[in-house]
Copies of this chain bind each other. A is one copy, B any other.
Amino acid sequence: MYVPPRTSLRVWPMLCGIRVINAEKSEFNEDQAACGKLCIRRCEFGIEEHQEWLTVCPEEFLTGHYWALFDGHGGPAAAILAANTLHSCLRRQLEAVVEGMIAPQPPMHLSGRCVCPSDPQFVEEKGIQAEDLVIGALENAFQECDDVIGRELEASGQVGGCTALVAVFLQGKLYVANAGDSRAILVRRHEIRQLSSEFTPETERQRIQQLAFTYPELLAGEFTRLEFPRRLKGDDLGQKVLFRDHHMRGWSYKRVEKSDLKYPLIHGQGRQARLLGTLAVSRGLGDHQLRVLDTDIQLKPFLLSIPQVTVLDVHQLAVQEEDVVVMATDGLWDVLSNEQVALLVRSFLTGNQKDDPHRFSELAKMLIHNTQGKDNGATGEGQVSYDDVSVFVIPLHSQAQEGSGH
């Protein structure tokens, strides 16, 4: 994790077995980060069915690694809470299913008791594997963390929200969970693979329009659910214009009525696209109190805190020394494409000493440098990002060598 100049860097104490590094580029920086070791304790079952946690082993049982980026909006409060909380939620969720994760196949009953002789076959037919329990734990941890943030913000009178991009290395696999517009990519010598998708008002248009169709009261008569190429005005009345509704991936024409002149539920294009004129992302944590300016119209019903999770089987990759995962907030991806980042990564790692322990930090630093408008030989473009930028570079080789830690 590289923290650019003008930055106060605090290394936090060991928090629930997680080492958290928090970076603040300026007093207005809303990016937050966390990383550390993830220690999952084993909670053994007793013989009695209803007595769940008989013994809690004091020592770590399964260990993994955790990296997380949170891009805040409306203040850094939600991002800070998420950086302090999400790993604990995840650890708790994983500990609740760890017995299932270490079995050859997750058992139908967590206790291992077989109620039906064919229970293993039912689990087999559904194709349920240990990785599905980690995916479920990530999904539930994001939801739990969102609830915590909602309570904490309300209790402290704070506001705000954040995106969340999390990578977890566990039992030989890398899990990438994303809710928002940050991005993780895998860069290898001959491969670039995007490990997450962005969730914005544009990419989630149909889900959002569907919600407004189901609950029209959410728009309070102030917005139109329909999408048009631009906001309509009086001159368009009575004309047939391009539009699409929630059920359409394609476009059609409709005759413009007065209600079509309202402000659109989703408005703007690309970086400028906004949900209810307010928010640039459609998934994330927080925003429980967020309302459209000067109205009572809430944003939260349209937002999902559920991440999309992708799984990379690192042990099957035949990982090379230069294989890395680059995680970054939208500040990086707004000015550099996946291909440009891969080019920078490859040329940097080819030119630098393999035994330099700081080379991945230097690489993260160089990537951020490339968003600050300095002309660079590799891209030759010198684009400028005016947004906060945070980057993790995760070398896969050391992860793969460390193994599962079980």
Interface of A with B (CB < 8 Å)? 49-50, 52, 93, 96-97, 100, 106, 108-111, 113, 115-116, 118-119, 122-123, 125-126, 128, 131-140, 143, 214, 229-230, 233, 235-236, 238-242, 244, 247-253, 269-270, 306, 308-309
Known A108-B242, A240-B110, A241-B109; contact A119-B230, beta-carbon cutoff 8 A: yes
Residue A49 contacts which of B111, B239, B247, B270 (CB distance < 8 angstroms)?
B239
Least Cβ–Cβ distance between A203 and chain B, in angstroms: 14
Contacts of A111 in B (CB 8 A): 239-240
Contacts of A119 in B (CB 8 A): 229-230
Residue contact B229 to A139, C-beta cutoff 8 Å: no
Contacts of A230 in B (CB 8 A): 108, 116, 118-119, 122
Residue A136 contacts which of B108, B132, B233, B244 (CB distance < 8 angstroms)?
B244
Residue contact B115 to A248, C-beta cutoff 8 Å: no
Residue A108 contacts which of B109, B229, B233, B247 (CB distance < 8 angstroms)?
B229
Residue contact A108 to B241, C-beta cutoff 8 Å: yes
Residue contact A253 to B110, C-beta cutoff 8 Å: yes
Residue contact B128 to A97, C-beta cutoff 8 Å: no
A300–B88 alpha-carbon span in the complex (Å): 43
Residue A106 contacts which of B238, B248, B251 (CB distance < 8 angstroms)?
B251
New contact pairs (6) apart from A131-B250, A137-B250, CB-CB < 8 Å: A106-B242, A108-B230, A126-B229, A126-B269, A133-B252, A139-B248
Least Cβ–Cβ distance between A247 and chain B, in angstroms: 5
Residue contact B253 to A115, C-beta cutoff 8 Å: no
A242–B97 alpha-carbon span in the complex (Å): 10
Least Cβ–Cβ distance between A258 and chain B, in angstroms: 15
A123–B247 alpha-carbon span in the complex (Å): 20
Residue contact A115 to B239, C-beta cutoff 8 Å: yes
Known A239-B113, A240-B111; contact A140-B229, beta-carbon cutoff 8 A: no
Residue contact A128 to B251, C-beta cutoff 8 Å: yes
Provide 5 A-B residue pairs closer than 8 Å at the C-beta atoms, listed in order of the A residue: A52-B240, A96-B253, A97-B253, A115-B239, A135-B250
A309–B52 alpha-carbon span in the complex (Å): 50
Least Cβ–Cβ distance between A277 and chain B, in angstroms: 17
Contacts of A113 in B (CB 8 A): 239
A241–B110 alpha-carbon span in the complex (Å): 6
Cβ-closest chain B residue relative to A202: B126
Residue contact A138 to B229, C-beta cutoff 8 Å: no
Residue contact A250 to B123, C-beta cutoff 8 Å: no
A28–B97 alpha-carbon span in the complex (Å): 50
Contacts of A134 in B (CB 8 A): 250
A230–B126 alpha-carbon span in the complex (Å): 9
Cβ-closest chain B residue relative to A128: B251
A115–B231 alpha-carbon span in the complex (Å): 12
Cβ-closest chain B residue relative to A109: B239
Contacts of A241 in B (CB 8 A): 108-110
Residue contact A143 to B247, C-beta cutoff 8 Å: yes
Residue contact A248 to B136, C-beta cutoff 8 Å: yes
A308–B93 alpha-carbon span in the complex (Å): 36
Which of A138, A248, A251 has the most chain B CB atoms closer than 10 A to its own CB?
Answer: A251
Residue contact B49 to A123, C-beta cutoff 8 Å: no
Residue contact A236 to B115, C-beta cutoff 8 Å: yes
Contacts of A308 in B (CB 8 A): 249
